[in-house]
Structure 1
Amino acid sequence: MSYLSIEFGLIFVGFFAIYWAFRLLPKFQNILLLISSYLIVASYSFQFAVILFIYTCAIYFVSVMIAGSKHHAKRWLILGLVAAIINLALFKYFDFFRYELQSLCNYLNLSILIPVVTVLIPIGISFYTFHSVSYLVSIKKRELPVARFWDFALFLAFFPSLIAGPINRAKTFLPQIAVNQPRDILEPFRAFTLIILAVIKVYCLGGLISENWVTPIFSNPLEYSVIDLLVGLYAYAMQIYLNFSGYTDLVTGIALLLGFRLPINFNFPYLAFNLREFWDRWHISLSHWIRDYIYIPLGGSRCGFVRTQVNVMLAMLLSGLWHGAGINFIIWGACHGIGIVFLNILDRFIGRGWITQRSPTVARLLSWHYICFTWLFFCCESFTDALDYLYALCHNFTVDSHYIGAFISIGIVFFIYPICKNIPTWSAVQFSKINSVYLPVFFILILWLTIYLAPSGVPNFIYANF
């Protein structure tokens, strides 16, 4: 069930009323949240809910053993991390690696037949795996006591952040679950603003961009000119940002209405002057997770300049692989890794921020175009499709352009983008000035108008696939 569907909206209104009817009983509210979260998972597949529950029991057992062991806590931690990684790999990467291993066996003339098994990827598995790793590490570091089982189960299954994040840290989110005092709705005007922005971003703007530019151009790139192909890349960069940041806005707003705070996940990433800054602004909960649980354990920047660049490449390759089991995602991660390594080399030999200090606009333009280039591999379904797009981009130098107006419009948007930075805060202030009696009517009117202008159908969340 899509969180943008009319059905979910109506169900959530009813759930919201029941949930806050038990405001004085936060433990009972947790039970309602846990049941609703599992029902949402089961709406995709009952098996997914069973897998999540079994995984929750296994990780919780390991956490108890870590907390209760003085001499073998590290071994239990390693066991838990290995189990989490194997579980994720089996469900998410079995088909990809089966194909590659079978090709290798055939090339080596080995008479080994790796069985074909249809594996469905459980919804949210990447995110609850990351949540569990955060929990186990926090238990090992004694940052947290062992949570109550049902609190931990809710931490992994919390429906606003289960499908596509953001990634919650155990030490900041579990205390929000384990409260004894009554909860309150947090920042209601900001919550409503985020929900409205989400619908506008995903339903209207993202849907229109996808329908008019991304889908037709990426479907057959060989038919389009270089200008049109650039429009396709720029448009996809805008679509994926609107889609993913819109999803984050939506679930953040929902969480605030339920009395929970989710971590900030986006901070105007296309204002970045370089790739490092981009990753400090884009999918922040993931980039910080990779930094803390992959890059730093590999040695971070503590082992010399060359080793640091190796660690950067490994972290970004794993980031690409996390997004999907395919060569295109690995190439996408490699492109970002190479870009950051190149930036580090420039910083070392000509000075940090050399381009930005001389021309911030040039720095932004260079970063924007490199990021758009990498989105090519993210968007295309296969490596062959990406090569076709690249071939057309390097050869279709014609003056006949279908989307010259779109090209100019995107250029204008790029330069006025910094002005949009204060829109969420400004909107929340304006909503707070409206009489509370008229606010629901105003809210419904905006949503209806947005849906009316948007393409037909409920849009998918791109990151729900990862």
Structure 2
Amino acid sequence: MLFPTLTFGLFFLFVYGLTWSLKASNEWRKIVLLVASWYFYGAWDTRFVALLMASGILNWGAARLIVAAEDRPKLRKVWLAIGIAINLTILGFFKYYGFFMEQVEHLLHSLGWERDLYIMQVVLPVGISFFTFQGMSYVIDIYRRKTEPASLLDMVLLMSFFPHLVAGPIVRASHLIPQFKKVPELTRGMAAMGLALIVWGLFKKAIIASELATGLVDQTFFDPSAQSSPDLIAGAYGYAVQIYCDFSAYTDMAVGLAALLGYRFPHNFNQPYRAVSLQDFWRRWHISLSSWLRDYLYISLGGSRHGLVRLCLALMGTMLLGGLWHGASWNFVIWGALHGSVLAVERLWREFRPKGWKPIPNWLGILITFHIVLLGWIFFRAQSFDSALAFIAGIFTAGGTAALVTPMLLAMILVGMTFHYAPPYTMQRVAMKIRTVNALWVGLGIGLFILVVDAMRPEGVAPFIYYQF
């Protein structure tokens, strides 16, 4: 069930009306939200609803055992290790089993053992990376005494809540569980912000991301050797805009939907392509993941507490694992290695920059950072390592003229980049204006906007890019 569809719209309207009618009973309200979330997830594949339930129950149980062993530090560590292992086992089996077995098979063939291994075809559950990371962060936070134990209902709802279930943001227990414990309130400001984010996300996904995907990006990445240099260059820039508009659209809509239900989610993007360094980029891009990697992986690997060499190794290790989090592919490893290497180089440069050398101007930092990110996106999007190399080689050697780029697609790329240079807090200002308008006019305006978007967008609705992670 995709957000920008009539089916989801009817589903949400039903859930919205039912949950607010149960405002007097917060427990029943949460039960309705939980059942609705399982229905939402089951619309994709009912078999994995049981996995979602089991994951929530197992994480709740591991946290309870850690709390029960409060006076036994060694036992607390054992339960922590078991809780993390459960999450990694679930994630590893569904996401990496096939990749691991293929690498084993290739290794055995290279050693002269030609017998084929039996490799099961494992279906990847949508959103498994997001809900396992949420479960793991809850167990770790309980161990670190950074959050209070949740009830079973609250914990399972945390991991199943449909607005953020399949593509984030990764909302931590310490942020959302306290909200579940209270009867929610829907202020006019929250409603205005929620509606503004939903329609803005719909525009970015249904028009810009979808148009760039179908008209340019998919074709250039499908067979780079058949494309001209101008088309490949446009395809690379187009994908940078597509992935931003697609992913930020999902999280904008998730934040907006949660707001209409009375809950606050953290924002996940802050104009990432205006970053002046790669470190700044990761403070702006997929903020819930980058902060998760920092708090639960980078710091655990030593962070900045054990000298410069250890810091650089921690950066590299964090980004390599962050790349693998996105999928079982060597391309994601290369993407993570590129980001980790540049982050380490930036840190070394700040440490050893010659005295008297001024920092580079912001405009140059933005230009360099964006093109490093752009190079990474080629590996991120390409179907294989060879395809990524062919794409990069074609940019410099293919020649020819642009056959795919149209004025409309070029305008989409320019508009998508312009978003990063709009005044800060633009959506908040829009929401402030919406809240002063009569509700009838707001409804008519939003309805008209949706009709315009529906008329302009390509046929069909492609899944969000991050559904596959």
TM-score by length of 2: 0.93
Match of 1:270 among 268, 273, 291: 273
Corresponding position: 1:446 with 2:449 = yes
Do the aligned partners of residues 74 and 402 (structure 1) sit closer, same or farther apart at CA in structure 2, a change above 3 Å counting? Answer: closer
Indicate the percent of aligned positions where both proteins have the same amino acid: 33
| Separation of aligned partners in 2, 1:112 and 1:36 | 48
Q: Among residues 173, 180, 184, which one is paired with 1:170 in the alignment? A: 173
| Cα distance between partner residues in 2 of 1:20 and 1:229 | 50
Distance in 2 between residues matched to 1:8 and 1:401, nearest whole Å: 37
Matched, 1:378 2:347: no
Match of 1:184 among 183, 186, 199: 186
Q: Structure 2: where are the runs of 5+ without partners?
A: none
| Secondary structure in 1 matching 2:440 | coil
Deviation digits for residues 388-424 of structure 1 (CA, Å, limit 9, x no counterpart): 1122122124466753856688568646741354431
Whole-Å separation in 1 of the counterparts to 2:205 and 2:418:
22
Matched residues in 2 for 1:332 and 1:188: separation?
Answer: 38
Deviation at 1:226, TM superposition (A): 2.6
Check the 8 A contact 2:40/2:162 in 1, yes or no.
yes
Say which SS state the counterpart of residue 437 (structure 1) adopts.
helix
Residues matched between the structures, number: 464
Contact 2:319 2:337 in 1 (8 A): yes
Q: Secondary structure at the match of 1:28?
A: helix
Amino acid corresponding to residue 119 of structure 2 in structure 1? V
CA contact (8 A) 2:271 2:419 kept: no
CA drift at 1:384: 2.0
Instruction: Tell me the residue number matched to 1:294.
Output: 297
Query: Which runs of structure 2 are paired with 1:88-237 in the superposition (5 Å)?
Result: 88-109=91-112, 114-179=117-182, 181-185=183-187, 187-237=190-240
Q: Is the 8 A contact 1:127 1:164 kept in 2?
A: yes
Q: What is the alpha-carbon distance in structure 2 between the residues aligned to residue 416 and residue 5 of structure 1?
A: 24
Letter in 2 for 1:380: A
- Indicate the larger mover: 16-25 or 281-290: 16-25
Deviation at 1:36, TM superposition (A): 0.5
Segment drifting more, 84-93 vs 58-67: 58-67
Counterpart in the other structure of 2:462: 459
Q: Aligned equivalents of 1:136 and 1:400: distance in 2? A: 52
Structure 2 equivalent of residue 55 of structure 1? 55
Separation in structure 2 between the aligned mates of residue 351 and residue 318 of structure 1, nearest angstrom: 32
| TM-superposition CA deviations, 1:162-213 (whole Å, max 9, x none) | 100000111121111122x453356111110000101100001111122222
Q: What is the aligned partner in structure 1 of residue 36 from structure 2?
A: 36
Deviation at 1:351, TM superposition (A): 6.3
Residue in 2 aligned with 1:67?
A: 67
- Matched residue, 2:369: 367
Partner of 1:435: 438
Alpha carbons 2:193, 2:431 under 8 Å: kept: yes
Question: Residue 84 of structure 1 contacts residue 129 of structure 1 at CA under 8 Å; is this kept in 2?
Answer: yes
Aligned to 1:139, the other structure's residue is in SS state helix
Per the alignment, residue 9 of structure 2 pairs with 9
CA distance in 2 between partners of 1:409 and 1:40 (Å) = 32
Q: Pick closer, same or farther for the CA change 1:352–1:210 going to 2, 3 Å.
A: farther
The 3 A distance-change label for structure 1 pair 11 and 76 is: same
Residue 432 of structure 1 deviates from its aligned partner by: 2.4
1:182–1:53 Cα change, 3 Å: closer
- In 2, Cα distance between equivalents of 1:267 and 1:165: 15
> What is the identity, as a one-letter code, of the residue corresponding to 2:12?
F
TM-fit CA distance, 1:383: 1.4
1:271-320 CA-to-partner distances (Å, cap 9, x unmatched) read 10010000000000000000011110010011111111111111000010
Higher mean C-alpha deviation, range 17-26 or range 388-397 = 388-397
- Relative distance call for 1:122 and 1:223 in structure 2 (3 A) is closer
Residue type at the aligned position of 2:110:
Y
Deviation (angstroms), 1:25: 1.4
CA distance in 1, matches of 2:387, 2:2: 29
| Native 8 Å contact 1:25 1:182 kept in 2 | no
What runs of 5+ residues in structure 1 fail to find an aligned partner? none
The question of whether the paired residues in 2 share the 8 Å contact of 1:77 and 1:136 is answered with yes
Cα-to-partner distance string for 1:132-157 (whole Å, 9 max, x where unaligned): 11111121122333211111110111
For the residues of structure 2 that align with 1:397 and 1:352, how far apart are their CA atoms?
A: 44
Per the normalisation by structure 1, the TM-score is 0.94
CA 1:200–1:117: 2 relative to 1, 3 Å: same
Instruction: Classify the secondary structure of the residue corresponding to 1:452.
Output: helix
Report if aligned partners of 1:227, 1:404 keep a CA contact under 8 Å in 2.
no
CA 1:51/1:450 → structure 2, altered by over 3 Å: closer, same or farther?
same
- Deviations along 1:318-351, one digit per CA (max 9) or x if unpaired, are 0100001111111111111111112122222226
Seen in structure 2, the aligned counterparts of structure 1 residues 109 and 9 have a Cα distance that, compared at 3 Å, is same
Aligned to 1:340: 343
Alignment of 1:295-310 (within 5 A): 295-310=298-313
Root-mean-square deviation over aligned CA pairs? 2.2
Note if contact 1:23-1:183 (Cα within 8 Å) is conserved in structure 2.
no
